[in-house]
Amino acid sequence: MPTPILTTKLYLPRLRPHVVNRPRLIERLNEGLHRKLTLISAPAGFGKTTLVTAWVEGIKRPTAWLSLDEGENDPTRFLIYLIAAVQTIAPTLGEGVLRALQSSQPPPPEAMLTALLNDLASIKDPFVLVLDDYHVVVPQSVDLALTYFVEHLPPHMHLVITTREDPHLPLARLRARGHLTELRAADLRFTSSEAAAFFTQVMGLTLSTQDIARLSDRTEGWIAGLQFAALSLQGHQDVPGFIQAFAGDHRYIVDYLVEEVLQRQPEPVRNFLLQTSILDRLSGPLCDAVTGQEEGGAQLEALERGNFFVVPLDDTRHWYRYHHLFADVLAAHLLVERPEQVLTLHRRASEWYEHHGLAGDAIRHALTAEDFERAADLVELAIPEMRRSRQDATLLGWLKALPDELFHFRPVLSVGYAYALLASGELEAVHARLRDAERWLDTTADTRALALAPSTEMVVMDEEEFRQLPALIAVYRAARAQVLGDVPDTIKYARRVLDLVPEEDHLGRGAAAALLGLASWVSGDLEAAHRMFADGIASVQMAGNISDAISGTIALADIRMAQGRLHEAMRTYERSLQEAMALGEPALRGTADLYVGMSELHREQNDLDAAEQCLLKSKELGERTGFPQNRSRWCVALARIREAQGDLDGALDLLHEAERLYVRDFFPNVRPVAALVTRVWVAQGRLGEAFSWAREQGLSIEDDLSYLREFEHITLARVLLARSKGDRADRSLLEAMGLLSRLLKAAQEGERTGSVIEILVLQALAYQMQGDISAALMALQQALSLAEPEGYVRMFVDVAPPMTVLLEGAAKHGIAPNYVRQLLTALDSASDRTPVKQVLIEPLSKRELEVLRLFRTDLNGPEIADELVVSLNTLRTHTKNIYSKLGVTNRRAAVRRAEELDLF
């Protein structure tokens, strides 16, 4: 089922009959049309929405409008509503993106945004998109999506954001590039002339110039304060006395004025205002349901005519809302005066929303009403749709708001909670929720466990979900065990899934087969892992989950790479990429990962240009068009390229960033980033740090060997070889050789040819250090015979210069002559590749390069510090280092020198 759209959020608010003209602000907005973004940021009550509405009605451009609320805290829902808003001016635009978002496997937000931006670029005429009340959006994921959207806006599109607080967007960068127009509280305050026009033209009051000046001065031009004052003044006998007593900050003013306004209203109107203050949106029928009265629609129209801070949300005057600040104060008065009514009012609202098919609003009001049993019923019924549309964060928020004891009697709700926790990475809490559900299941059968019929104590709202619980529980237990590295439990529960689900359940059987494949991968049985995981992916594809099937090929390619079968890994990536491209835009989840994997293969085969191009393509698709691991993997891939180019400091910076971005997932972490960092330290001669890493990881040459730690143990062997002095009796050398011998046996038994080649290369170097050239050439020959068919290059080039001597010896003995010649050519080329910045100057750190780039902007020192989120003292330290390394004394000279060295 498509996500229902509340169309009232897409209407341009209607202006009141009499509105104060504000030509100075309209001109500012008009001037900003040639920029990307207009930001109107000010506290409540400063007329942000009214100003934008008046401006939009005056410009001759199509305008899409979206009034945001807390529901758009979910990235998927945010994008669905954003597309719906755009479709009000281009009805067919974004249809493909909308279908993908509402599919069972929606791609990540950035992929959707890329496709949407491509669609928007096809619109010929200039247009405007307004996001009203953006401050209600909290998650960083939505901010990141909007940042991407802003930075890639088509030139004929203009975005307007109104908000009470600055959004987490790169405002300093947009400001520096001339892409931003800003209006703030100081700009929006009414001037004395505007305040006079408001009192006379809008509120129908006749006040002296002196009285208007006093009110304007007391409110500091705050529009809401002036409106509250005007409402209080209507019919007030002692106008000078009222103005004289009018004092205090905004909050006290509002409290005072609302109390005055409320006390002057007839009791029916006062009751209506207080009781409906719990609602985000108002309609006649909804207000009738909440208040238990009739004529709610007529009451809303009367309030609008009386300027009671009621804002119409559609053209038909069916839906309204209160001014946010007015609603807040009304709700506070309700809580003080009639606390016993609050829960009842929310319960009535929940029932009305449920009856009208608006589950999210029904759940929210049920939770606020503390009607937890009913809220639990509603959440349980919503679980399948929330799971299908991947609104995991919203679902988890609802579930966490429910009392813990409810889950003991609701197995479907408990398993839904386990799913949401697993999706969010909160693994420890998953077990307890599954255990609560298992109390109600028949687990005594030998093969297929069946759910018991609901008992009188148990609560089940969704019978179909209840019947699927045994299989779902087994899947979630297997997935949790896999993430925790518990191979026996992964296998046990995955096999239980196969016992539980019928043959025609392709999704269930595919998930089980894939989990069994992952367990074999962890164990080092790569051929079995590839076979089972491939079977699982095929079943998932048969179930229609194309995105997951394409993404799963990343694991298949990784396994083939570990087996030393580089060509087959590349074919796997290319085949999946073709399937993904055949489906058209937007790019499916996992597509970015395909390019990262291809980059690693190109790097190993020493095609560094192709490797970088793949990473650029991955970045163009967006960081979130892949698994959560994609950002970390991307940094690792670029770090390996920088290492191959001789930029070891740059490689380290990227690897540290990869560590920061690393997210644990279902794939085994067989190549930890910390081990890659250690290898760079070895190349830099930083052996103290390298040995510290080994101690911290608890590594020793006497460890029992496992595939999960094979990469780390090979790294330990590299560290020992680096410490060796080359003496035949050197302890480090002997320890390294003993460890390599054990590692080689284990890798050969597991048919992990990628590891076998690397170990043989290191053995060749070890024998060379001992002076046993014959044994060194024998080990090298074995490595070459395995590596040549697959085109390995960097495996040998990365251990130069000693490898050069060995390869020259191999050439003299006629070992793999063509391949050895190719490797020697690559070694010669690598020795000549030294970055300009390392030849001419002491290298700048990654952070110093970021500072240097900002030197080219118009930002001053404090603004640069804000952009980089560092203190001014830290910025000064970076600046001093930059000047020292570049041999300059000022900012302009630093930029000029950096351009000469091509550092940008």
DSSP sequence for 646-711: T-HHHHHHHHHHHHHH----SS---S-HHHHHHHHHHHHT-HHHHHHHHHHTT--TTSPP-GGGHH
**What local confidence, expressed as pLDDT, does residue 127 receive?**
94
Q: List residues bridging with 38 in a β-sheet.
A: 160, 181
Give residues with Cβ within 8 angstroms of 560, minimum separation 6. Answer: 530, 566, 568, 569, 572
**What local confidence, expressed as pLDDT, does residue 834 receive?**
41
- Which is it for strands 127-132 and 63-67: parallel, antiparallel or unpaired? parallel
Cα–Cα distance, 695 to 697 (Å, whole number) = 5
Cα–Cα distance, 226 to 192 (Å, whole number) = 11
Low-confidence stretches of the chain (pLDDT beneath 50): 1, 248-250, 444-449, 833-841
pLDDT digits (tens, 9 = 90+) for 88-123: 999 889 888 888 887 766 676 667 788 889 899 888
Cβ atoms of 751 and 527 closer than 8 Å: yes
* Dihedral Cα 593, 390, 151, 174, nearest 10 deg: -120
Q: List residues bridging with 320 in a β-sheet.
A: 282, 312
Burial class for 215, CB neighbours closer than 10 Å (0-12, 13-18, 19+): buried
Please state, in angstroms and as integers, the Cα–Cα distance from residue 79 to each residue in 66, 73, 618, following that order: 11, 10, 22
Considering the domain 420-544, what is its CATH architecture?
A: Alpha Horseshoe (1.25)
Residue entry with tokens 């905004």: 250
Give residues with Cβ within 8 angstroms of 735, minimum separation 6. Answer: 701, 720
DSSP sequence for 108-154: PHHHHHHHHHHHHHT--S-EEEEEE-GGG---HHHHHHHHHHHHT--
**What local confidence, expressed as pLDDT, does residue 467 receive?**
87
Q: Which tokens hold the place of 490?
A: 């992964």
> E strand or H helix at 594, and its extent?
helix 591-604
Q: List residues bridging with 161 in a β-sheet.
A: 39, 131
**What local confidence, expressed as pLDDT, does residue 448 receive?**
44
What's CA 379's distance to the chain center, in Å?
25
Tell me which fold the domain 7-188 belongs to: Rossmann fold (3.40.50)
Tell me which fold the domain 838-900 belongs to: Arc Repressor Mutant, subunit A (1.10.10)
What's CA 621's distance to the chain center, in Å?
14
Q: Which tokens hold the place of 166?
A: 């600055």
pTM above 0.85, yes or no: no
Cα–Cα distance, 92 to 86 (Å, whole number) = 9
Cα–Cα distance, 394 to 24 (Å, whole number) = 42
**What local confidence, expressed as pLDDT, does residue 729 receive?**
65
Cα–Cα distance, 419 to 475 (Å, whole number) = 10
**What local confidence, expressed as pLDDT, does residue 622 receive?**
63
